[in-house]
């Protein structure tokens, strides 16, 4: 029997990891997110043994709920997939301090804390996926807290691998370009005016394809997995071009703010 804990399992990349890990022979899942009904449907669709932890991971109570479940059941955790996350396009004064705080608490703090909480339950050979992004490779004004958080995750994952070597555990930072999930419509919001033009959000990658690639990279023990031709190019250019050129390219993809401030 093998167990995968997946945060953000109610949608998109997290749910797709569940589907593909089942095909890889994982028999038991813990799904963690806020929408229990979606996670229940996923468990029933897969016909696997599953546990639902309904938790807002941007809060201490949410993290505590996972910690408590681990202390009670003391399971052997073969995979930890830190997929819960969200983004919000817009200037800091447009998206607001509370949204920025929640984004950092979920995308960064929760991923780090859950990793540390889970590692003592992970046997040798087990795997961790941390969600980075193509936005790790360019300073992105108007997507700042999100993209800067992903840079943190990339560096964190690379460093973590050194510390986990003695336990035989390996972490992969997954850096896809734009993927077709609920993420982008939510990140664009209804009121945020400074966001990429729809024509700039291309190519849109298929969730199935990027997750399949990440599973291969994870099995090979890669510290980072970059996918999507545009993101691979971005990663390459990041190494050879000054930041300001890449940032200008990004700014050229944004809608003009509709109102002067």
Please state whether the peptide bond connecting residue 203 to the residue before it is cis, i.e. omega within 30 degrees of 0: yes
- Nearer Cβ to ligand NAP, position 88 or 194? 88
Site string for ligand NAP, 12-41 (x = CB under 6 A): xxx------------------xxx--x---
CA–CA separation, 124 and 165 (whole Å): 9
Dihedral of alpha carbons 56, 60, 61, 66, sign: positive
Site for ligand NAP in 193-252 (CB under 6 A): none
Q: What are phi and psi of 175, to 5 degrees?
A: -120, 80
CB of 124 to ligand NAP, least distance (A): 27
> 102: burial class by Cβ within 10 Å (0-12, 13-18, 19+)?
middle
Is 43 an interacting residue with respect to ligand NAP (CB under 6 A)?
no
Query: Applying CB under 6 A, which of residues 87, 121, 140, 227 lies at the interface with ligand NAP?
Result: 87
Query: Applying CB under 6 A, which of residues 85, 145, 160, 214 lies at the interface with ligand NAP?
Result: 85
Q: Segment contacting ligand NAP (CB under 6 A): 9-17, 114-122, 233-241, 243-251?
A: 9-17
Q: Per DSSP, which regions of 122-223 are E strands?
A: 127-131, 170-176
The neighbouring-strand residues paired with 52 are 31
Q: Segment contacting ligand NAP (CB under 6 A): 160-168, 183-191, 219-227, 245-253?
A: 183-191
Which tokens in the block code for residue 172? 């992969």
Is 77 an interacting residue with respect to ligand NAP (CB under 6 A)?
no
Supply the DSSP symbol for 255: P
Residues that bind ligand NAP (CB under 6 A): 8, 10-14, 33-35, 38, 56-58, 62, 83-87, 106-107, 131, 133, 176, 178-179, 181-184, 186
């Amino acid at each position: 029997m093998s167990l995968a804990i997946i945060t953000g399992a109610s949608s998109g990349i997290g749910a797709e990891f569940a589907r593909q890990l089942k095909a890889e022979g994982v028999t038991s899942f813990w799904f963690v997110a806020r929408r229990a009904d979606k996670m229940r449907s996923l468990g029933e669709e897969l016909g696997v043994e599953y546990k639902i932890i309904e938790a807002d991971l941007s809060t201490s109570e949410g993290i505590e709920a996972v910690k408590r479940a681990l202390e009670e059941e003391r399971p052997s955790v073969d995979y930890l997939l830190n997929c819960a996350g969200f983004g919000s396009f817009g200037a800091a004064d447009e998206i607001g301090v509370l949204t920025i705080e929640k984004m950092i608490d979920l995308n960064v703090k929760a991923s780090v804390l859950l990793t540390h909480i889970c590692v003592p339950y992970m046997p040798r050979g087990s795997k961790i996926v941390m969600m980075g992004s193509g936005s790790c490779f360019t300073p992105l004004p108007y997507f700042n807290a999100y993209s800067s958080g992903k840079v943190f995750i990339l560096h964190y994952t690379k460093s973590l691998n050194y510390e986990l070597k003695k336990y035989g555990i390996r972490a992969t930072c997954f850096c896809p370009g734009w993927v077709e999930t609920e993420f982008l419509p939510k990140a664009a919001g209804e009121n945020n005016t400074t966001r990429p033009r729809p024509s700039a959000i291309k190519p849109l990658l298929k969730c199935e394809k990027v997750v399949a690639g990440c599973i291969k990279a994870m099995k090979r023990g890669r510290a980072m997995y970059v996918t999507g031709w545009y993101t691979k190019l971005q990663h390459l250019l990041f190494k050879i071009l000054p930041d300001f050129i890449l940032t200008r390219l990004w700014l050229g993809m944004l809608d003009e703010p509709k109102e002067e401030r």
